[in-house]
Structure 1
Amino acid sequence: MDFTDVSLTALRVFRAVVEQGTFTAAAAALGYTQSAVSRQIASIERTAGAELLERRRDGVRLTAAGRVVMRRATVVLDEIDATARELSGLPEPGGTVRLGWVPSAGTTVVPYALAALRHSDPNVHVISREGGTPALARALRAGSIDLALLSSAPPFRAPDGESPPLALETLTERALCLAVPAAHPLARGDFVDVADLRGQRWIAGSSSGADGLMGVWPGLDDRPEIVHTARDWLARLHLVAAGCGLTTVPSSLGPAAPPGVRILPVRGGPQEQRRLLLARLPRPPAEPVVRLAAALRAAALGTTPDPSPS
């Protein structure tokens, strides 16, 4: 097999498919047609002489050969990207860290950590992006991000079933809470009883896929009435402030709630905890990654990171 004929475009398409999880999603992310993506993947598989992606009903998964190609492709693409950064005058490649984060981390942990890092380690350059936990886990596997802040709910399973397992660290574990309009009858007390959630109107976080009921209290024994959907946390909270319904929020979002919203605990039924996880591939991290990880831990704890190397 001769990989000298494989183009950088084909390698980028391959990484995008692995990261996005489907040919369709990769095509949308890259601005290509699905047939163009399929052709690029077919060309790499012909060169490799092996199937690199297992096509499944729920998306694609790397084969053993695919993991080898993905590991090598990541090295090549990272070097090309680093060269482009150097030529454009950005910081040295060793000082760049790519971070992914779930939306709930974007209101507190991420901005606080980046602000602290600018003072403690101004030469560490962070490029970040928001995403869902499954997409960010795929991005770690694909090598397009170095660190990720992921969310986890009971029974707290690993974010993916790939091998080797991701290196995971729990930064916070806090109770799920309820955002209630200040004028709502449920806002009169210091907590909400789970039995009083039957028949309420809900503002959900997504209208499709596995996150279809995000924003609705888990385990309700009636069919929830979802009146609004909004991906953005702040948009959901402003809809609550306008009296449009209830939504669930991590307790850490309390300080971000606008006027007219009460953040209350829920009593009765199973305790609903949510974890914020720091995730990376299971290999020794580069020093800039270590620095950012320290800043994220400190921000999650509400402290100032130790400037000394760990």
Structure 2
Amino acid sequence: MQVLRAVVDHGSVSAAAGALGYTPSAVSQQVAVLERETGTALLERVGRGVRPTAAGLLLAGHAATIERQVAEAGAALADLRSGRTGSLTVRYFGTAGAPLVAPAVAAFRRAHPRVRLDLGMTDPEDPLTEVLDGRADLAVVVHPRDTPPPGLRLVHLRDDPYRAVLPTGHRLAAKRVLDLAELADEPWVGAEPPGPCRTVVLGACDAAGFRPSVTVDTGDYATAQGFVAAGLGIALVPLLGLAHHRHPGVTVRRLRGPEPVRTLQAAVRTGAWGQPALAALVAALREAARR
């Protein structure tokens, strides 16, 4: 059809052949094939030249439309491959939202305004399935550094150590650093929902030689601090969980022996690694975590 369009535009087979870099015979053969396929005449001779029939004009017009659409598709594909356009589905957990994901997304959107982001919360008990299934492109998760799941690539963002949260006036509040074992006999307020964060806390307690006695299970850092402030127990809360809300009725102390630390990672499918827009978002997350 593009050969036909060239003949229509240039008014003769020989002129079209010169423009396309073909021989006149090759151009005539291409037009003849198209006439057989369509079952109608597309050109008629007029003196030394040719002019299109109504069918020829119709197909030449469609050829121009197809050529324009192919060019537009090529430009769109180039934009997508370069990371200038497209869409990314991003999942994250609550305490990573404000201090980490929000500034990263803001920076990413300034640099990539034509890339659409779909942001949502992860399943706290199963944060990686959406990425593995292809329903999300990236998830900010808590996961150990040395055990990447099959099919995923993990990018370390930051370590987030836990702190002991005590009622103001607690007997241990005078100490600057607490051994985790010193909290073994205390009533505990559970601040973590089931999932990898709770596993970090319980693993540290196991290493310190005890299992905490949880009297209230909140699954929420702000609520847990309220119960601690009321004197109902102590809690462990990571630094990011204290970043935007610290109850005035609690005292926060560092821990050791061991210090529980959760590791924040960006999880990306191995097959998607290297896509420009995705790589740019990972870089923005790393920069936000660094700051």
TM interval, shorter chain, is: 0.5 to 0.7
5 Å-filtered alignment, 1:25-174, equals 94-132=85-123, 135-153=126-144, 156-158=145-147, 160=149, 162=150, 164=151, 166-174=152-160
Q: 1:278 aligns with which of 266, 287, 290?
A: 266
Counterpart secondary structure, 1:110: helix
Q: TM-score, normalised by structure 2?
A: 0.60
5 Å-filtered alignment, 1:229-308, equals 229-256=217-244, 257-267=246-256, 269-283=257-271, 284-302=273-291
Q: 1:190 aligns with which of 176, 179, 184?
A: 176
- Cα RMSD, aligned residues only: 3.0
- Greater gyration radius: 2
Q: TM-score, normalised by structure 1?
A: 0.57
Post-superposition offset of 1:296: 1.0
Cα–Cα, structure 1 residues 114 and 236, in superposed 2: closer, same or farther, change >3 Å? farther
Q: How far apart are the structure 2 equivalents of 1:253 and 1:214?
A: 15
Alpha-carbon displacement from aligned partner over 1:113-151 (angstroms, at most 9, x marks no partner): 223334343333322222256622111110011011111
2:206 paired with 1:225: no
Count of aligned pairs between the two proteins: 205
Cα–Cα, structure 1 residues 273 and 211, in superposed 2: closer, same or farther, change >3 Å? closer
Unaligned stretches of 5+ in structure 1?
1-92, 303-310
Cα–Cα, structure 1 residues 301 and 205, in superposed 2: closer, same or farther, change >3 Å? same
Cα–Cα, structure 1 residues 94 and 231, in superposed 2: closer, same or farther, change >3 Å? farther
Contact 2:189 2:217 in 1 (8 A): yes
Letter paired with 1:301? R
Letter paired with 1:262? T
Q: How far apart are the structure 1 equivalents of 2:216 and 2:254?
A: 22
Q: How far apart are the structure 1 equivalents of 2:106 and 2:168?
A: 32
Q: How far apart are the structure 2 equivalents of 1:169 and 1:212?
A: 21
